A and B are shown apart, each in its own frame.
Chain A
């Protein structure tokens, strides 16, 4: 069996008492003190996450226009119109309109810096490279770690190391000196909280992490709380809530497709599955991703089937991720269900261990987002 890879912070995770598990081919901490306290710490103070397993890539070419044009042939978002120093959420699509992966892309001068999911990165890189025109190149960044600092006190914490952190708005991207080295910093994250993602040269990752953890309000946070935080924030987890059979419209991600890329827009279509996604933008597909609140206390996890009522024979969908929300103090879930039942407030049933239990369709996020717009 292949051994899992280790991130530049592996020794630190062990020294901090992290419980190490295999995740997407990497040895990473699932928790330090516990999922519940780590989740609540991130929502109230600031949590430091090692997300170095995620793929980091730079796409460069003769001009920004050339890079944007190449990437827009694979990603249905407005990349050409992205201002320098700004970041945007997007996804790679397939010919059926499904999502190959979701990602963040940032304009840094004439190039695009992308962060993709760990489990998809090899396939993403091969796919993108296979479709780039001559002169536009994708380079995988393998010599940098990626840290996320998330929570309402993240700004104060990072500003202690460099006051420039304060001047950034949500989705801004700048180069910033931290722990004596230039980092690529974006004001973003995947917890629903304000915060930063910091791409740092591997050799300086541990000194930077230690400098942050030395601050009174910063604590290390494992993968367990990362999952419960993103779930409460209503954010999709690739391979669970979305995958290569889910279209962006079914997934409720149409906000990420700017008008200029939609039918009638100046750069409409031109990406895999554009016909299908374009048609769905006008005429919604039969399934929809929704939030669900179980009425009772029992958490409902991925795979639980959803029914229109207590007696219905055929499920109308299934939970794609779910669990206990430590901030909302109740179970929360996301599901893909028949769109006819997707209106918030709709009462449905979930079958848990042979029993039909009441659930209610709910708007997401389950906790209000706390971004610095």
Chain B
């Protein structure tokens, strides 16, 4: 299942975890990404906590945790290759995997058709 936030994050349910990244639309808008600051593995986050900082050549942007839960894995390949977020935002450019107690939190987010409508 793939869901989208209005802040241009995608959430993909893989087994009992939720993988989070940003959409191609967001990556294009941000421009060339040169640094990604990831959360600590094991960190417990509350929805809307600042989770990731993305630095493009132009500016810094905050990515908020879309759900409450625990960060169980982060994509450390972004430390050496932040450009993966531009090259493959919805695949190899993922940020982190969360374990979430209440999967119903996902219900409020957009499906792909609704997200595509949002970005026009």
Which residues of the other chain, A, contact B35 by a CB distance below 8 angstroms?
297-299, 324, 331
User: Do A228 and B57 contact each other (CB < 8 Å), given the known contacts A31-B31, A34-B32, A35-B31?
Assistant: yes
The reply to whether A299 and B55 form a contact with Cβ atoms under 8 Å apart is: yes
- What is the distance, in angstroms, from A31's C-beta to the closest C-beta of chain B? 7
The reply to whether B58 and A35 form a contact with Cβ atoms under 8 Å apart is: yes
Q: Does B37 reach chain A (CB closer than 8 Å)?
A: yes
Taken residue by residue from 130 to 165, chain A's Cβ proximity to chain B (1 for < 8 Å, 0 otherwise) reads as 000000000000000000000000000000000000
Taken residue by residue from 320 to 338, chain A's Cβ proximity to chain B (1 for < 8 Å, 0 otherwise) reads as 0001101000010000000
Taken residue by residue from 59 to 101, chain B's Cβ proximity to chain A (1 for < 8 Å, 0 otherwise) reads as 0100000000000000000010010000000000000000000
Which residues of the other chain, A, contact B32 by a CB distance below 8 angstroms?
34-37
Which residues of the other chain, B, contact A373 by a CB distance below 8 angstroms?
none
User: Which of B53, B55, B57 makes the CB contact (< 8 A) with A36?
Assistant: B57
Instruction: Report the separation of the CA atoms of residues A30 and B55 in the bound assembly, to the nearest whole angstrom.
Output: 17
User: Do A324 and B34 contact each other (CB < 8 Å), given the known contacts A224-B58, A297-B79, A301-B60?
Assistant: yes
- Smallest CB-CB separation from A30: which chain B residue? B58
User: Do A299 and B60 contact each other (CB < 8 Å), given the known contacts A35-B32, A353-B37?
Assistant: yes
The reply to whether A224 and B57 form a contact with Cβ atoms under 8 Å apart is: yes
Count contacts on B: residues with CB < 8 A to the other chain.
13
User: Which of B31, B55, B57, B58 makes the CB contact (< 8 A) with A298?
Assistant: B55
- Give the interface size class of chain A: 10 to 19
Instruction: Report the separation of the CA atoms of residues A24 and B60 in the bound assembly, to the nearest whole angstrom.
Output: 21
- What is the distance, in angstroms, from B49's C-beta to the closest C-beta of chain A? 13
The reply to whether A353 and B53 form a contact with Cβ atoms under 8 Å apart is: yes
Which of A30, A228, A297 has the largest count of B CB atoms less than 10 A from its CB? Answer: A297
- What is the distance, in angstroms, from B37's C-beta to the closest C-beta of chain A? 6
The reply to whether B57 and A323 form a contact with Cβ atoms under 8 Å apart is: yes
Taken residue by residue from 17 to 59, chain B's Cβ proximity to chain A (1 for < 8 Å, 0 otherwise) reads as 0000000000000011011010000000000000001011110
The reply to whether B57 and A326 form a contact with Cβ atoms under 8 Å apart is: yes
- What is the distance, in angstroms, from B53's C-beta to the closest C-beta of chain A? 7
Instruction: Report the separation of the CA atoms of residues A249 and B48 in the bound assembly, to the nearest whole angstrom.
Output: 46
Instruction: Report the separation of the CA atoms of residues A299 and B58 in the bound assembly, to the nearest whole angstrom.
Output: 10
The reply to whether A324 and B79 form a contact with Cβ atoms under 8 Å apart is: no
- What is the distance, in angstroms, from A73's C-beta to the closest C-beta of chain B? 41
Instruction: Report the separation of the CA atoms of residues A297 and B37 in the bound assembly, to the nearest whole angstrom.
Output: 9
Taken residue by residue from 213 to 237, chain A's Cβ proximity to chain B (1 for < 8 Å, 0 otherwise) reads as 0000000000010001000000000
- What is the distance, in angstroms, from B33's C-beta to the closest C-beta of chain A? 10
The reply to whether B60 and A34 form a contact with Cβ atoms under 8 Å apart is: no
Which residues of the other chain, A, contact B79 by a CB distance below 8 angstroms?
297
Which residues of the other chain, A, contact B55 by a CB distance below 8 angstroms?
298-299, 324
Instruction: Report the separation of the CA atoms of residues A326 and B31 in the bound assembly, to the nearest whole angstrom.
Output: 13
- What is the distance, in angstroms, from A133's C-beta to the closest C-beta of chain B? 46
Which residues of the other chain, A, contact B34 by a CB distance below 8 angstroms?
36, 297, 299, 324, 331
Instruction: Report the separation of the CA atoms of residues A294 and B43 in the bound assembly, to the nearest whole angstrom.
Output: 26
- Smallest CB-CB separation from B29: which chain A residue? A19
- What is the distance, in angstroms, from A300's C-beta to the closest C-beta of chain B? 10
The reply to whether A35 and B57 form a contact with Cβ atoms under 8 Å apart is: yes
Instruction: Report the separation of the CA atoms of residues A273 and B17 in the bound assembly, to the nearest whole angstrom.
Output: 65
Instruction: Report the separation of the CA atoms of residues A39 and B57 in the bound assembly, to the nearest whole angstrom.
Output: 10
Taken residue by residue from 10 to 36, chain A's Cβ proximity to chain B (1 for < 8 Å, 0 otherwise) reads as 000000000000000000001100111
Instruction: Report the separation of the CA atoms of residues A80 and B53 in the bound assembly, to the nearest whole angstrom.
Output: 52
Instruction: Report the separation of the CA atoms of residues A20 and B95 in the bound assembly, to the nearest whole angstrom.
Output: 30
Which residues of the other chain, B, contact A228 by a CB distance below 8 angstroms?
57
- Smallest CB-CB separation from A329: which chain B residue? B34
- Smallest CB-CB separation from B32: which chain A residue? A36
Instruction: Report the separation of the CA atoms of residues A37 and B34 in the bound assembly, to the nearest whole angstrom.
Output: 13
20 A/B residue pairs, CB under 8 Å, sorted by A = A31-B31, A34-B31, A34-B32, A34-B57, A35-B31, A35-B56, A35-B57, A35-B58, A39-B57, A228-B57, A297-B79, A298-B55, A299-B34, A299-B60, A324-B34, A324-B35, A324-B55, A331-B34, A353-B37, A353-B53
Interface residues of A, Cβ cutoff 8 Å to B: 30-31, 34-37, 39, 224, 228, 297-299, 301, 323-324, 326, 331, 353
Q: In the complex, given contacts A31-B31, A228-B57, A331-B35, what are 8 additional A-B residue pairs having Cβ atoms less than 8 angstroms apart?
A: A30-B58, A31-B58, A35-B57, A298-B37, A298-B53, A299-B34, A299-B35, A301-B60
